[in-house]
Homo-oligomer: A and B are copies of this chain.
Amino acid sequence: MMNTILQHKSIRKYKSNNVSNQLLAKILNAGIRASTTGNMQVYSIIVSKEEQIKQKLWEAHFKQNMVLQAPVILTFCADFNRFNKWCVQRKAVPGYDNFLSFFTAAIDTLLVAQNVALAAESEGLGICYLGTTTYMAESIIEILKLPKFVVPVTTLTLGYPDENPPLTDRLPLESVVHFETYKDYSEKDIDIAYSVKEALPQTQELLKINETETLAQIFTEKRYTKKDNIAFSEALLKVIEKQGFLNNE
């Protein structure tokens, strides 16, 4: 268990081997053992394997190669649709068309996703999370035909690894853990937190390629710009509203 967790690396190159239905079921069954609010299980998992669907998902996910290459794409969705239908069929009036319910469902969804990721890795498969899911939620809703009260939250590509990248660096544990209450960061604390990352050879390489002075500038100017973040914020809030989760009164 610990070993699986400690050896995690995102896999972006996959062998052409299929993942058997039996193995997939085993992994998904492990996934749904995750904790869930009030045991409501307010999520759904969409398994996409067909070339035609994968092609569309690939386009939605900024044409990242692994979406086409991985034999299985798993889209994890916050889902109150099933629960609401059950309520209505059982003479109960659901009150889950609000932001809290969306966020509760998103929490459920992400715990399942991480269970699936670890279960897959423990079975020798590789995974990669796609952050583009929230950016492109509207397109994904259309491609996967998600009804009202269903919002895609994250995506995993899944398959047999065809690469073995090194572990990714992490900040020192002491820089992300606080004891009793939050101790805000001094200038020196920030320097300590990021010094190892900034000194890595690949960071030096990135600075050369991007012609920037600091690594932080690569994040703010290239990877996660304010302009994109604002556009995607608007799009995501619009999707949450459109899918029925912003009737907060």
Contact = CB atoms under 8 A, between A and B. Distances in A.
Nearest to A218: B92
A144 to B, nearest CB: 5
Given A6-B29, A6-B33, A82-B190, 7 more contacts: A47-B179, A53-B181, A82-B176, A99-B233, A100-B232, A145-B181, A234-B248
Nearest to A43: B176
A209 to B, nearest CB: 16
20 contacts: A5-B34, A8-B33, A10-B35, A32-B176, A38-B131, A40-B219, A41-B171, A47-B177, A85-B190, A89-B216, A91-B216, A92-B214, A92-B216, A95-B225, A100-B232, A100-B233, A100-B236, A111-B113, A147-B182, A147-B184
Given A129-B35, A220-B92, A181 B46 contact: yes
Interface in A45-76: 45-50, 53
A6 B122 CA distance: 13
Contacts of A182: 44, 46, 77, 144-147, 150
A196 interface: no
Interface stretch (A12-20, A102-110, A158-166): A102-110
A134 B147 CA distance: 26
A112 to B, nearest CB: 9
Nearest to A49: B180
